[in-house]
A and B are shown apart, each in its own frame.
Chain A
Amino acid sequence: MTQSCGRWMSRMAVVALVAGTVLALAVPASAGEKVFKIGGLAALQQGFGRSMQSGAQIAIDEINAAGGVSGYKMQITWLDDETSPATGRTLAQRLIFNDKVDAILGCHASTVVLATADLMAQNQILDIAMGSAQKVTELNNPWIVRVRENDLLTGKVLANYMVDKAGLKKIAIIYMSEQYGMGGRDNLIAALAAKNMKLVAAEAHNQGDKDFSSQLLNVKKAGADGLVLISGVPDLGIMVKQARQLIPDVKIFMSSVGATKPFMDVAGEAANGTFAVVTYTEDNPNPMVQKFVQAFKAKYNAPPYDFFSGLSGSACENAGCVQRNQGLQRRDRPDLRCGQGRGIGARTPANHVREHEAQGGCEGQRQVVLSAQTLRTGEHASGMFPRFAHRESGSYGMGNPVSADGVRAGAGLRVRPDRPRV
């Protein structure tokens, strides 16, 4: 390339940038048809973000193919927030003011959810968050609804199972020193404390670490018989691989990340015989779940990678409906009926932990999955639907935690395939 050619190219680049800026800032003309817009915020550079995208798309395609909800077509715009709260805020602003979305499907990273919480409240936008930290619950922000288990419940399920069912006496934890891991650790400690137990070892690691031998050896030294791992995908896989070598006799339990396909890909055979708490598994016999799995396979030629797909799908579906049931309407916002409960979460009878061998991953690993359980605390929701403060009960799956009564009071997110919603 000659000098002048290069100069010309640089000049064109500038022109393109300027033109693009102008175009991008121009408010897009509104379409004639009625559209319910959802904004999607996720870390698209990571697997989970991609899963959210794909799952949501299936739901939206299905909904639109069936004619939409209450006459509105659904549309979702995704933006990559790189799990950075600052970018998340920027993008939330863009979605709210530029794209004028009616609801936001929030990030799976709880820090982003926390960072954008005030924007949601200020602008009265429904945020269907996918972050699982308890801190999000503590915000008590009525505009944030979750479709995923929160860490508190995960901690309880783990503690219940490990202590009561598996009879483990010495429990240790290795956690990632990010909000997910730290929250998980705190919740486990609290749940164990409720059973008068303490952790015998709590080891931390940084995200991206590749070698966990020192942490595992410390766990071994503490004489643990059960180990909880709360971390992100690649690290978790490597951890499990190494754990199987260094401490093969210790039972391994994980949070929902441990039941995802990428984890199994990385962990390989080491994932056999581990336990995980999750709301969605591919082989859940619930017909709703299977229908979703088939649709996913048909569209993407691969089964869903993790639970985010399913959850985000149903989130989309119920977005408008939640708005109405929450009493969160705005005059300028579409008022949608509730969609058919496309329940993806597991349904289990109260206080029951359902174990089943989950076949998944590339090597057909067998893993025992503790699927969602219902915890009733006897508290009522006061008719204001999923404010999920400290009222935990109701089934996992969608819109949790909700009290059973509150759910029956007309909430749209409960899994109820046998009751068509009006």
Chain B
Amino acid sequence: MVSGLALGCVYGLIALGYSFLFNAVGLINIAQGSFVMLGAYVYGVWFTNQFHWPFIPALAALIVIMGLFGMACERFFYRPFKRAHLRTVLVSLVALGILLGNLALIIWDPYPKGTKGLFGQTTLRVGGMAIFYQSLFIIASTVLLLIVQHWLFKKTTIGKVMRAVALDKDTAALMGIETDLAISLTFAYSSILGGIAGMLVAPIFSIEPFLQVIGFKGFGACIIGSFSSITGAMAGGLMLGVVETLGSAYISSLYKDAIAYAFIIAFLIFKPEGLFGTRSEESGL
């Protein structure tokens, strides 16, 4: 159950990444899963395994690199397509996902890797159950991150600028806000979120290009919760994590993914705005 919550937190973080970009530019970043994978690789393989940096500097470096990467993606994969049809952008994002997966294969070799993480495999024993410390860490850091995020967006100028652009790009532009920069920063932030999700996940999963598919689950979490609200995205993630774990325990472990996706699809059909969203223009054709 706890692992379900932890898994849900991770999905929630990824969902947040989607949510921000959606709110800012109306774009669903299909390649978000690849960001998570990259984060896992960069943090797990480079910083921890190869360079052996302690946690705080590694985290800081991860944030910087993922941020820059996000901005680069914006420059090359979003800006040129701004005026193109949405369909084109989606396809190019699919291509980006494939590209990143293949590049990860080339840069790091295809062997799956493991990394220790802060807590290794230690567990807390509570009344017959064993809980990974890492799971608790994930939950705790997610909460911390949400708090930081709340502060960032409500109190700082950058945050306010990003929110303004997310709410209404054109008006913000009229007010003299540099929308391009704000969008760039939003990409960076989404990418950082993805990277942190990757970092949290790296010790409990294995680090391999296949990790990309977690992006689909995160996307599903967004659908369940809602794209437009932060609580929605997180809640969606948690629900998905719990449903998946419980479904696997009580229904069938083999069809676990199928169950999770069926759940998502059901939401798509019956309640596309998610539990917390409002019926608005969907990003679509």
Contact = CB atoms under 8 A, between A and B. Distances in A.
Contact of A268 (B112, B116, B244, B257): B116
B168 interface: no
B256 interface: yes
B245 A213 contact: yes
Given A206-B257, A234-B206, A44 B110 contact: yes
B256 A305 contact: no
A213 B249 contact: yes
Contacts of A267: 114
Q: Helix, strand, loop or mixed for chain A's interface?
A: helix
A269 B204 CA distance: 13
A214 B245 contact: yes
B208 to A, nearest CB: 6
Interface in A169-213: 177, 203-206, 208-213
A267 B248 CA distance: 22
A213 B204 CA distance: 13
B110 A49 contact: yes
A contact residues, range: 35 or more
A272 to B, nearest CB: 11
Contacts of B113: 262, 265-266
A217 B249 contact: yes
Interface string B209-220: 110010000000
Contacts of B250: 214
A213 to B, nearest CB: 6
Nearest to B244: A211
B248 A211 contact: yes
Question: Chain B interface residue count: which class?
Answer: 20 to 34
A47 B109 contact: yes
B270 to A, nearest CB: 26
A237 interface: yes
Contacts of A60: none
A262 B114 CA distance: 8
B110 A210 contact: no
Contacts of A215: 253
B155 to A, nearest CB: 36
B254 interface: yes
Q: Which of A205, A238, A266: most chain B Cβ within 10 A?
A: A266
Contact of B109 (A50, A206, A237): A50
Given A177-B254, A204-B254, A238-B206, A265 B248 contact: no
Contact of A262 (B3, B111, B209): B111
B132 interface: yes
Interface stretch (A133-141, A143-151, A241-249): A241-249
A55 B253 CA distance: 37
Contacts of B206: 233-234, 237-238, 266
A265 B206 CA distance: 9
Interface in B57-110: 105, 109-110
B80 to A, nearest CB: 9
Given A208-B213, A211-B7, A266-B206, A237 B120 contact: no
A45 interface: yes
A46 interface: yes
A270 interface: yes
A82 B213 CA distance: 17
A211 B121 CA distance: 14
B61 to A, nearest CB: 22
Contacts of A362: 49
A206 B253 CA distance: 8
A268 B253 contact: no
Nearest to B129: A246
Interface centre among B49, B114, B132, B210 (most CB of A within 10 A): B114
A214 B248 contact: yes
B36 to A, nearest CB: 13
Contacts of B254: 177, 204-206
Nearest to B6: A211
Interface string B234-278: 000000000011001110011011000000000000000000000
B110 A46 contact: yes
A176 B250 CA distance: 19
B110 A50 contact: yes
Nearest to A6: B80
B249 A214 contact: yes
Nearest to B132: A245
Nearest to A204: B254
A177 B3 CA distance: 23
A238 B202 CA distance: 11
B112 A266 contact: yes
A269 B209 CA distance: 23
Contact of B121 (A245, A261, A305): A245
26 contacts: A47-B109, A47-B110, A47-B111, A50-B111, A206-B254, A206-B256, A208-B257, A210-B7, A211-B3, A212-B253, A213-B3, A214-B249, A214-B250, A233-B112, A233-B206, A234-B206, A238-B204, A238-B205, A244-B121, A262-B113, A265-B111, A266-B114, A266-B206, A267-B114, A269-B120, A270-B121
Given A45-B105, A205-B253, A268-B121, 15 more contacts: A45-B110, A177-B254, A204-B254, A209-B253, A213-B245, A217-B249, A233-B111, A237-B112, A238-B205, A245-B132, A246-B130, A262-B111, A265-B111, A265-B113, A266-B114
In the A-B complex, the 7 residue pairs with the closest CB atoms: A266-B114, A234-B206, A47-B111, A214-B249, A234-B112, A262-B111, A266-B206
